[in-house]
Amino acid sequence: MGIDPGLRTTGWGVIEVSGSKLTHVANGLCLSGAGSLAARLLALHEQLSEIVTRFAPTAAAVEQTFVNRDAAGTLKLGQARGIALLVPAQAGLEVGEYAPNAVKKTVVGVGHADKRQIDHMVRLQFPGIEIAGPDAADALAVALCHAHHTGGGNRLAAALARAGA
């Protein structure tokens, strides 16, 4: 399971790894809506918990926080990321963490790829899937990155080579 944390929108993606074969299982978005920070974090926790219960992943990976100039925004994102780390840990899963540039480099071939490039490469890896939105595509990219770094990425490497990345 890959998770792209965000306070308003947290993307998630579940893939299955069987040897070098990677298969899309599901993807989606957790939305926190309006309200207090505590209520929004609780909404993310409840939704991610339901997804972990429904799909029973055996591993999880979370994208690390991108630090920007807005310290308050970065702090809130960090709190959402805390929920993204907590939920799989509560389910007893090991949780991998990857820098945004590492995810992009693994999936696209360059560390400064934009969201369109990530979406494109995820669609190449899983032809014909419906992606719930850019955050879900990013979460699938995190899952692909984790699969690659834990030995299930032979198919990903082959797909990248075919795409000329």
| CATH code, domain with 116 | 3.30.420.10
Domain that holds residue 27: 2-164
pTM over 0.85: yes
| pLDDT one digit per residue (tens) for the chain, 165 residues | 999 999 999 999 999 999 889 999 999 999 998 899 999 999 999 999 999 999 999 999 999 977 777 888 888 889 999 999 999 999 999 999 999 999 999 999 988 889 999 999 999 999 999 999 999 999 999 999 999 998 754 555 555 566 665
Q: If we measure between CA atoms, which residue out of 92, 98, 91 comes closest to residue 139?
A: 98
Phi, psi of 115 (to 5 degrees): -60, -35
Q: If residue 139 lies in a helix (H) or strand (E), which one and from where to where?
A: helix 134-149
User: Does the active-site annotation cover 4?
Assistant: yes
Active site residue 70: no
Catalytic residue check, 63: yes
Give how many domains the chain has, as a whole number: 1
User: Residue 165 and residue 11: Cα distance in Å, rounded?
Assistant: 25
Catalytic residue among 4, 94, 97, 119: 4
Binding positions for Mg(2+): 4, 63, 135
Determine whether 54 is exposed, middle or buried from the number of CB atoms within 10 Å of its CB (0-12, 13-18, 19+): exposed
